[in-house]
Amino acid sequence: MTTDIEGMALAAGILTGSGGRTSHAAVVARQLGKVCLVACPGLEIDMALRQCRIGEAVLKEGVPISLNGDTGEVYPGHLAQLTERPEKALAAIAGWRRAAAV
């Protein structure tokens, strides 16, 4: 929903129970530079109890989770963030810039 934009802007990542690559959550996440996992199988949100269930895991509101944007996996707790710098691609782009400047 468009009313979720404030929460999406504050979140480190976004997890949804439905949607696809062109869903609102996915499009907004890309614009915000955030990881977004859509259509998570087994995700059940219980607003009354302020918790969610993913498979057998029950997570209360406020419990951190970690999202792996490459594999689509969801982990309870904080995991160390890994960031890879695409050195080969950056070197190729730098070469294009140098060639265009000549």
Q: Which residue matches tokens 């190729």?
A: 92
The confidence score (pLDDT) of residue 15 equals 94
Whole-number Å distance between alpha carbons of 92 and 74: 34
The confidence score (pLDDT) of residue 95 equals 93
Q: Tens-digit pLDDT profile for the chain (102 aa)? A: 567 888 899 999 999 999 999 999 999 999 999 999 999 988 999 999 999 999 889 999 999 999 998 899 999 899 887 777 888 999 999 999 999 987
Cα 16–Cα 22–Cα 25 angle in degrees, nearest 5: 35
Hey, what domains does the chain have and what are their CATH numbers?
2-101 (3.50.30.10)
DSSP secondary structure letters along 56-90: TEEEETT--EEE-TTT--EEES---------HHHH
